[in-house]
Structure 1
Amino acid sequence: MSLPKPVPFIAAARTAPAPSTLVVAILTVALSACAVGPDYQRPTAAEPTAYKEAQDWVPAAPADALNRGDWWTLFEDPILNQLEAAIDISNQNVAAAIAAYAQARALVREQRASMFPVISLNGGATRSGSGGGGINSASGSGNNYQMSIGGSWEPDVWGRLGRAVDSASAGAQASAADLASARLSAQGELAVNYFSLRQTDAQKRLLADTIDGYQRSLQITQNRYNAAIATKSDVLQAQTQLANTQSDDLGLTRQRAQLEHAIAVLIGKAPGDFALAPIAWKVTVPDIPVGLPSTLLQRRPDIAAAERRVAVANEQIGIAQSAFYPNLKLNASYGFGASQVAALFSASNNVWSLGLSAAQTLFNAGATSARVSEARASHEQAVASYRQTVLTAFQNVEDQLAATHVLGQQQELNRQSSLAADQVEQQALNRYRAGQISYTDVVTAQTAARSAGRTLIQVQADRQTTAVALIQSLGGGWQIAP
């Protein structure tokens, strides 16, 4: 059971001065305010002293010129630079995150406004009468005019309003981190799609050369068959190999179109209005300095967002606990009332009031305690989510460091394999022309050469996309975000 609507301690008066004891009491209550609830402390999380997979990596230094705004320029691709510049302008996911951040900032201003008095101006006029109009009955009517200015203020005695402001501020900071995450995610996805498209172009060029070679091989086998030197099976094998390769080329054409469409959507364009012409692929893989694991907690926007949500949950505990204490409210008004407009602002017709009200819930079957328990459980959930985000971030960095190290070694081995396979293919074709081997041996050599070439291109693309993933895992740059 809760108390009825609170009544001001001081009733309305006309000309008597406000009691000084009430003013003293109000100031005493306001100045003795103390916030209930736990003070926020950033939760601890697993934090290794060094990355296991870093090995010979160069640590990041304050002199590093790169920041999270233009990390893609390290890949030295002017077309990629132009595409990335369109992310902030046209990407709709980023636009939605920007709007969410603006909404969170507006909520902070709204919560902060609740800590100040509310002042209102009221005015009105009424006409009333009585009597039935009979011979022996009295009748009459009159006017009444009122004008007053009033104010109310809820002193933040228990810190509820202050914690609401802090909670909204932490929420806005989490929203800002979400915006940074959305921007970094869109930038990384665009870079990966772009490099995948250039990889597809390189594979199509490789297949174009391969198709030319297979067409020449088919002509050789056809000529040998016409001269009764080779069997029909040689011609059929050459035809099968050529047709399969041409089919693979069409598959790459479909894959390239899908990547082009994805890039168009990322920069806010309709796929039908966007095209990227094939160009020579510049395989640039930048050296990425890696800082200490402790700096990752300051750079990663997803970690920042998770930590700020812990702060939000912490403030909610104090807000819930403040319900155990009475709500206090100050009210004051000053105005005039008269039966004639001309006499409305006369000093003899002024009215004022000043009051302090209090309301306290006496019994609600444990609902307040349940809300406090709910807030504490929500805080524990936010802490666990923060710690899991930190662990996942360290895993991302370790995974990409290991992948980068291995792919660098694989690229050199695949390069050697591709060169050797090309030589074997040429030697096998020469020996077939001389009648020393069957065409099956030629097909085997050609298939191996084609596979080695495609594997080399794949590894080169993987090194670029892994570099992008490592940059994202490091928070988008080498410097600590402001």
Structure 2
Amino acid sequence: MTQVHPPLPLALLLVLTLSGCAFGPTGEAPAMPRPDHYAAQATPADVGPEGARQRFVLGQRAVPQWWQAYGSPELSAWVEEALRNNHSLAQAERNLASARLQLRAQIDQSLWPSVDAVGQAQRQRALGLPNIGPTTNLYNVFAGQIRASYTFDLFGTERYANAATAAQVDAQSYQFDAARRALVANVVISAINAAALRVQVSDTERLVALAEADASEVQRRAELGAASQDDLLAARANAQSLRASLPGLQAQWLAARHALAVLMGRTPDQAPADLDLASLRLPAEVPLAVPSELLRQRPDILAADAALKVAAAQQAQATAEMFPSLSISASFGQSGFTWPKATGAAGAVWGLGASLTQPLFHGGALRSMSEAAEQAYLAAEANYRQTVLNAFQNVADSLVALSHDADAQTAAAAARQASEQGWRNAQRRVALGAVPISAARSGERQYLNAHLSEARATASRLNATATLFQAMGVSLEAAPATSPTTAPQAAQP
């Protein structure tokens, strides 16, 4: 007895349906290592001396409005203004809204049939039949129809396309959140840098004044024969060298203020006044998410995960396009060669149709597209793995920087305190006439240099804290809404 085999597409459909096999990968993120600690060395429980100590709270969720921990109402107001008025952020938000609307349009178009009203009026001249009647015919055609068509998504081609677009919107949503967080960090860091540079400019201006006072004293001594010409030249060179460093500092300070103004949506001439660096409070507690939670908080990791789902859906779509597609169409209307006949009962026209298309030969294009989609998925998977490793490195570098900046600030503060005490002692000795006034200037110069180092170290520690807050991502409770349609995790035929 001869066994009759079903057609190949039907057989494949039967096998796939019975086995429950998907047309593509699930898009689930691959398993990643869970390190015990981020950096090469274990994370300390706290850093900094008493009075300026910071504690790392392991397992605490990210702080949504972490900039408020600096205790500066001005800084908080600047951040809120930037979130409202930054034009690059507004552009990203509008692009995200547009992507969501395009997704909705794509889904609606795939779920519902298309219905169109068509009206037609034509005047035509056509050749007549040879030796019968006139050589040409001149006539009018009037027609009005309602046409409907629908394509059945038998193998999920449209559904996979919708899933890919939905995941793309998810990725764009996470990228928008990353842009918001980057904007906040840039505002905080720019404000801190501007405040620190203002201190450096002020101290350097005073150092220039002290150096010029020293040069004037050496000149008077040289005129009296108590100092050599070389001493005078050295004093003048020192004063001019300090003065030469001042324009660069002033340019950096103004550039930081200009950058802050633009981030806030202002013109550079409307830059806000500088913060008082000493008034900024060092956040006492810094959240430190465990690696497993970091994967669910960092926008860049979430965006890479969404990109993986995009690639999975596109691979399934490329496979589904090798299977049959079924479309139906219908039309109903009135037609005729004259207007009265076109609108009368005799002019009624209608049509029904169905088409089943099975790709047979496309020169290997469909197979190549499916294989290309598979390679794109593997690339997205590698990108996810690298993004996670980069995130771990970012957190590790931020922790190490903050720890070392705390040590540097501690040493700089101790040096500033010692030099300040030495300067005060020199001032008292000058007042008693025990030492010349140049000794007080020397003590003040040492103090100013130490104060400059402390300002840099303080700004570096404040910035490193902001960077670590940024590296932790956003808490799950404060995460923004993503796309209106969730991509299917497992694409089934």
TM value normalised by structure 1: 0.81
Q: Are residues 1:44 and 2:31 paired?
A: yes
Q: Which runs of 5+ in 2 are unaligned?
A: 1-16, 46-55, 481-493
In structure 2, the CA distance between the partners of 1:450 and 1:137, relative to structure 1 (3 Å rule), is closer
Q: Are residues 1:94 and 2:92 paired?
A: no
Determine the structure 2 residue equivalent to 1:119.
115
Give 1:346 deviation, angstroms.
5.1
SS at match of 1:335: strand
Give 1:97 deviation, angstroms.
1.5
Between 114-123 and 163-172, the greater mean CA deviation after superposition: 114-123
Determine the structure 2 residue equivalent to 1:55.
44
Aligned partners of 1:115 and 1:155 also within 8 Å: no
Aligned partners of 2:210 and 2:445 also within 8 Å: no
Determine the structure 1 residue equivalent to 2:299.
301
Matched letter for residue 97 of structure 1: A
Tell me the alpha carbon deviations over residues 434-466 of structure 1, each in whole angstroms, 9 at most, x when there is no partner.
9999x9x99987765444322211110001110
User: How many angstroms apart in 1 are the aligned matches of 2:150 and 2:282?
Assistant: 62
In structure 2, the CA distance between the partners of 1:40 and 1:231, relative to structure 1 (3 Å rule), is closer
Give 1:374 deviation, angstroms.
0.6
User: How many angstroms apart in 1 are the aligned matches of 2:323 and 2:476?
Assistant: 48
Q: Are residues 1:467 and 2:456 paired?
A: no
Determine the structure 2 residue equivalent to 1:84.
79
Tell me the alpha carbon deviations over residues 182-219 of structure 1, each in whole angstroms, 9 at most, x when there is no partner.
22212212221211110011112222333344344445
User: How many angstroms apart in 1 are the aligned matches of 2:471 and 2:127?
Assistant: 85
User: How many angstroms apart in 1 are the aligned matches of 2:457 and 2:181?
Assistant: 24
Q: Are residues 1:315 and 2:335 paired?
A: no
Determine the structure 1 residue equivalent to 2:409.
411
1:402 maps to which of 379, 400, 403: 400
Aligned partners of 2:193 and 2:256 also within 8 Å: yes
SS at match of 2:415: helix
In structure 2, the CA distance between the partners of 1:127 and 1:458, relative to structure 1 (3 Å rule), is closer
User: How many angstroms apart in 2 are the aligned matches of 1:294 and 1:189?
Assistant: 27
Matched letter for residue 185 of structure 2: G
Between 400-409 and 39-48, the greater mean CA deviation after superposition: 39-48
Tell me the alpha carbon deviations over residues 35-87 of structure 1, each in whole angstroms, 9 at most, x when there is no partner.
7333332332233254444331213546x8x41xx322221223322322232
In structure 2, the CA distance between the partners of 1:476 and 1:216, relative to structure 1 (3 Å rule), is farther
Give 1:477 deviation, angstroms.
5.8
Q: Are residues 1:162 and 2:149 paired?
A: no
2:198 maps to which of 194, 197, 201: 201
1:388 maps to which of 363, 386, 389: 386
Matched letter for residue 353 of structure 2: G
Aligned partners of 1:197 and 1:259 also within 8 Å: yes
Q: Which runs of 5+ in 1 are unaligned?
A: 1-30
* 1:130-209 matched pairs, under 5 angstroms: 137=133, 144-209=141-206
Determine the structure 2 residue equivalent to 1:330.
328
Between 319-328 and 401-410, the greater mean CA deviation after superposition: 401-410
Aligned partners of 1:115 and 1:162 also within 8 Å: no
Identity %: 26
User: How many angstroms apart in 1 are the aligned matches of 2:179 and 2:468?
Assistant: 17
Task: Count residues with an aligned counterpart.
Answer: 446
SS at match of 1:121: strand
User: How many angstroms apart in 2 are the aligned matches of 1:314 and 1:187?
Assistant: 33
1:280 maps to which of 272, 276, 282: 276
* 1:244-283 matched pairs, under 5 angstroms: 244-271=241-268, 273-278=269-274, 280-281=276-277, 282-283=279-280
Tell me the alpha carbon deviations over residues 381-428 of structure 1, each in whole angstroms, 9 at most, x when there is no partner.
111111111111111111111221222222122111223334556778
User: How many angstroms apart in 1 are the aligned matches of 2:199 and 2:169?
Assistant: 45
